[in-house]
A and B are shown apart, each in its own frame.
Chain A
Amino acid sequence: MAVSADVVGRTYPSIAPYQVGREKIREFAAAVKATDLTHYDVAAAQTAGYADLVAPPTFAIVVSQKADAALVNDPEAGIDFSRVVHADQRFTHHRPIVAGDELTAAVTVDAVRPLGGGAMVTSRVEVTTVAGEKVATTVSSLLVRGEEQ
């Protein structure tokens, strides 16, 4: 099934509030082999001027991939996830994410471009606090490979 261009411009519903926990920041930081103490030690983070543990620069992917699920799982979009390749990714941080943040996020489809037998799907996720403060904007392109390739 081909990816549908009808979803371009569509914004999907926001995810349920995501509570940024200290242990998740520690686990994520260790998983990407980050060494900065401000990911692990609350006192070090506060000494550096942060309210709590600081998330690594790509941590927002945890939240934005939850938002992306609404698009990927939309039968109308026609994205076969087993044929998806992550083509590019961008993070723009309006401020660092810290433990204690309560975030929400929603995905908007910016473009669907035919490519070979498949399609390149570019989507944008706005990550905000539940109070509406802008935190991060993530943009990703997924290459959905065609059946014949």
Chain B
Amino acid sequence: MEFESVEKGQSVGERTVRVSRADLVAYAGASGDRNPIHWNEEFARSVGLPNVIAHGMFTMGAAVGLVTEWAGDAGAVVDYQTRFTKPVVVPNAFDTTVTPSTALTVSGVVGAVDAEARTARVDLTVTAPDLSEPDADPATAKPLKVLVKAQAVVRFPG
């Protein structure tokens, strides 16, 4: 992406990130955040959660890939922030192997352009189905905004 062609209101695209319990175990290992609410259902319920939930930082990390791919430079994000509003519930799903049981839907729009600093702020919308009820169906469950005020500032060379 060339900075000169970036405009406020422009879409940076949309993607779906499927999520399994195995993804959460991989993130726990990679990040060092081994809190059992992210991999043990009994423990998660014992602290009042509806089920195993994804690390907020997993969701934040997975969502920003849309921005770095759009920018064409994985090191171009100079600022990235979000609030975590709703947990991403990740039910058990097993069919000879652990399979994805939910998905993040990520989309982004250019919210601001700073010509002097050569930066663009991308505002991300990230949703996941509300699977907090045991019999919820991922295909029909209501999408919840799991990140709010998720904004990534990209700096362009030049």
Q: Give A residues with C-beta under 8 Å from B.
A: 24, 27-28, 30-36, 38-39, 48, 50, 54, 56-58, 61-62, 65-66, 82-83, 85-93, 96
B134, CB-defined interface residue at 8 Å: no
Residues of A within 8 A of B78 (CB): 92-93
Residues of A within 8 A of B33 (CB): 65
B31 touches A28 (CB 8 A): yes
18 contacts between A and B (CB under 8 A): A30-B30, A31-B61, A32-B64, A33-B65, A34-B61, A34-B65, A34-B74, A36-B65, A38-B73, A56-B65, A57-B61, A57-B152, A58-B61, A65-B32, A82-B47, A86-B55, A91-B77, A92-B79
A91 touches B79 (CB 8 A): yes
B32 touches A66 (CB 8 A): yes
Q: Mark B48-78, 1 if CB is under 8 A from A, else 0.
A: 0000000111101110110111000111011
Residue of B nearest to A82 (CB): B47
A33 touches B31 (CB 8 A): no
Known contacts being A31-B31, A34-B65, is A91 close to B74, with CB within 8 Å?
A: no
Residue of A nearest to B75 (CB): A96
Which of A27, A57, A83 contacts B64 (CB under 8 A)?
A: A57
Q: List 8 tightest A-B contacts by C-beta distance, closest first.
A: A96-B75, A32-B61, A90-B81, A31-B30, A36-B74, A57-B77, A58-B61, A88-B83
A35 touches B30 (CB 8 A): no
The smallest C-beta distance from A1 to any residue of chain B, in angstroms, reads 17
